[in-house]
Amino acid sequence: MLPLFSQPNRWAVAFGLIAVLALVATACGGKEEAADDLADVSLRPNAQTPIAVPAGEPIVVGISAPLTGPDEAEGIEDRDAVIAGVERWKEQNGNQIKGHEIEVRAEDDGCTEADITAQAAERLLRSQGLVGVIGPACSAGAQAAIPVYAQAGIVAISASATQSALATSQPEGRFFFRTAYRNDLEGILVGLFASVALQAEKAYLIDDGELYGTDLADAAQRALRDNDVTVTRESVRRGMVDFSQLAAKIVVENPDLVGFAGFNPEAALLYRQLRDAGYTGIFGSVDAAASVPSFVEPVGAAAEGVVFAGCSLTLPPDFVAQFEDVHGGRPEASAFVAQDADAVTILLSAVAQVAVEQADGSLTIDPAALRDAVGATSLEGGLSGSFAFDENGDRIPRKGDVLSQVVDEALSSGDIDIFVDLGLVPCQVQDGKLVNLLGPGAGQIR
């Protein structure tokens, strides 16, 4: 056993949840419905006009996540985490906000398909009473949709889009926030993990050619080299299924560690073919691949020992029970369930703070006021930890922190708990489960 680092009553959901799920079901129709939605431009908001929630109508929370395709398992868990988060917020704050019910509308955003994510944004923007969106889920899609939401003056809080520059490069107005960590931080963790815990001297890094994967592999490469690990880079394409030539090449070079920055099924296919080709070293991947149904189960017993740089945080039993009521099972596919629930908690609390009741029973919400209320958040005791947002919308441990300074100071002092504070923990497949290697109840690497 090699140590990693030194550590320091189910409630009923009932009618409200049924209404939420019914709205989700109607919002996830086919492309013909989507085309009809896009034709109605009269409902699309803009940043200069207050958000209006008519009398007797619900406040709508949008969700942008992949609900079909290769990332379906993760996207559905992210969606259901938001729904469970809404119910959790209601338990603590009441079923309504100033006399208005809370409903959810989910749109399939295609994950890495930027045009699909932008179309999902346009459909959500035509939802009467839309106050904000949880998402987009993936970095490439987020890059395309962030300007769409900004132009409309609608807050978008992503729990899982981690490309390093998404927040700092967003359009003026700054309506984008994220409860997720950034790829550059995950890269630093990869470098430390490989050099300290795994004592690797040679690493082979592979990205999937997508915005998320290349950015994360770049960050990991810098961190590995900073920790005196020799790195060889390779790029593949999403949708590739035959990795036999690459696997044979890697076997010849025999690195201590092979790292893949990308999604499933590519991560699982690459790993399986590496083992079949005779590679016996350590294999690691990232949050997008850290999934029991999408990686561990397809690979089977051979998945034992695989490590992932970003994994689902340990969730309290009451929230797991709430999630099971919504989803029908425990979260096993997405690394960002806690961040999704925290994102909708922040959004609803901000709406409750700034929504103004009108004489006719309607609500109006100033887009800038809502944005500022979200930005001023200091969430204490969230499912993914306590945190705030910096001026760019990136997650920081405490209000007023400068992220780069916090990370530099933590690394210089050897305090790697900073990663836990940012919602970032590594894990390993042990006995068919993903076991966290940092944070509360952490196990040891095998």
Q: How sure is the predictor about 442, in pLDDT bands with cuts at 50, 70 and 90?
A: confident
Q: Which residue has the tokens 């490469």?
A: 221
Residues 51 and 163 in one domain: yes
Residues 321 and 269 in one domain: no
Q: What contacts 407, CB < 8 A, 6 or more positions away? A: 185, 188, 418
Structure tokens at 384: 């993914």
Task: Determine, yes or no, domain membership for 244.
Answer: yes
Which whole-number Å values give the CA distances from 335 to 127, 181, 210, 338, in the listed order? 28, 11, 19, 8
Sequence letter at residue 268 = A
Task: Determine, yes or no, domain membership for 446.
Answer: no
Q: What is the pLDDT of residue 32?
A: 35
Cβ atoms of residues 293 and 252 within 8 Å = no
Cα distance between residue 348 and residue 61, in whole Å: 9
* DSSP of 266-302: HHHHHHHHHHHHT--SEEEE-GGG--IIIIIHHHGGG
Q: DSSP character for 57?
A: P
* DSSP of 301-317: GGGTT-EESS-PPP--H
Any idea what the Cα angle at residue 284 is, between residues 414 and 166, rounded to 5°? 70
Cα distance between residue 225 and residue 202, in whole Å: 10
Q: What contacts 30, CB < 8 A, 6 or more positions away? A: none
Q: Is pLDDT at 166 greater than 50 in this prediction?
A: yes
Residues 156 and 282 in one domain: no
Task: Determine, yes or no, domain membership for 432.
Answer: no
Residues 187 and 175 in one domain: no
CA 379 to chain centre: 17
The mean pLDDT value for 118-142 works out to: 97
Cis amide leading into 265 (omega within 30) = yes
Residues 176 and 201 in one domain: no
Task: Determine, yes or no, domain membership for 429.
Answer: no
The mean pLDDT value for 413-437 works out to: 91
Name the domain boundary from 251, 270, 304.
Answer: 304
Q: Report the CATH number at residue 242.
A: 3.40.50.2300
Q: What is the pLDDT of residue 340?
A: 98
Q: Is pLDDT at 21 greater than 50 in this prediction?
A: no
β-strands 433-436, 427-430: how paired? antiparallel
Residues 56 and 160 in one domain: yes
What is the average pLDDT value for the chain, to the nearest integer?
A: 90
Cα distance between residue 330 and residue 291, in whole Å: 12
Handedness of CA 359, 361, 362, 365 (dihedral sign): positive
Residues 162 and 218 in one domain: no
Bridge partners of residue 285, in order along the sequence: 308
The mean pLDDT value for 209-220 works out to: 95
Tens of pLDDT, residues 260-300: 999 999 999 999 999 999 999 999 999 999 999 999 999 99
More confident residue, 430 or 407: 430
Please classify residue 277 by burial: count the beta carbons closer than 10 Å to its beta carbon, then call 0-12 exposed, 13-18 middle and 19+ buried.
middle
Bridge partners of residue 130, in order along the sequence: 60
Cα distance between residue 277 and residue 81, in whole Å: 39
Tens of pLDDT, residues 38-82: 545 556 788 889 999 999 999 999 999 999 999 999 999 999 999
Helix (H/G/I), strand (E/B), else coil: 142: helix
Cα distance between residue 307 and residue 277, in whole Å: 20
Q: What is the pLDDT of residue 426?
A: 94
Q: Domain range holding 377? A: 14-180+315-405
The mean pLDDT value for 301-328 works out to: 96
CA proximity to 207, closest of 194, 222, 221, 226: 221
Percent of the chain with pLDDT over 90: 81
Residues 172 and 216 in one domain: no
Helix (H/G/I), strand (E/B), else coil: 346: helix
β-strands 282-285, 257-261: how paired? parallel
Residues 295 and 379 in one domain: no
Task: Determine, yes or no, domain membership for 433.
Answer: no
The mean pLDDT value for 324-334 works out to: 96
Bridge partners of residue 107, in order along the sequence: 64
Name the domain boundary from 280, 304, 328.
Answer: 304
Cis amide leading into 136 (omega within 30) = yes
Task: Determine, yes or no, domain membership for 422.
Answer: no
Residues 65 and 140 in one domain: yes
Please classify residue 248 by burial: count the beta carbons closer than 10 Å to its beta carbon, then call 0-12 exposed, 13-18 middle and 19+ buried.
middle
Cβ atoms of residues 159 and 78 within 8 Å = yes
The total of structural domains in the chain comes to 2
Name the domain boundary from 245, 278, 304.
Answer: 304
Ramachandran region of residue 116, left (φ > 0), alpha (ψ -120 to 50) or beta?
Answer: alpha
Residues 336 and 289 in one domain: no
β-strands 130-134, 59-65: how paired? parallel
Cβ atoms of residues 216 and 261 within 8 Å = yes
Tens of pLDDT, residues 172-202: 999 999 999 999 999 999 988 888 888 999 9
Cα distance between residue 11 and residue 240, in whole Å: 44
Q: What contacts 375, CB < 8 A, 6 or more positions away? A: 174, 177, 389, 391, 393
Task: Determine, yes or no, domain membership for 426.
Answer: no
Task: Determine, yes or no, domain membership for 430.
Answer: no
Residues 55 and 103 in one domain: yes
CA proximity to 398, closest of 371, 410, 223: 410
The mean pLDDT value for 203-225 works out to: 95
Q: What is the pLDDT of residue 292?
A: 96
Q: Which residue has the tokens 């690493």?
A: 203
Any idea what the Cα angle at residue 222 is, between residues 270 and 241, rounded to 5°? 15
Percent of the chain with pLDDT over 70: 90
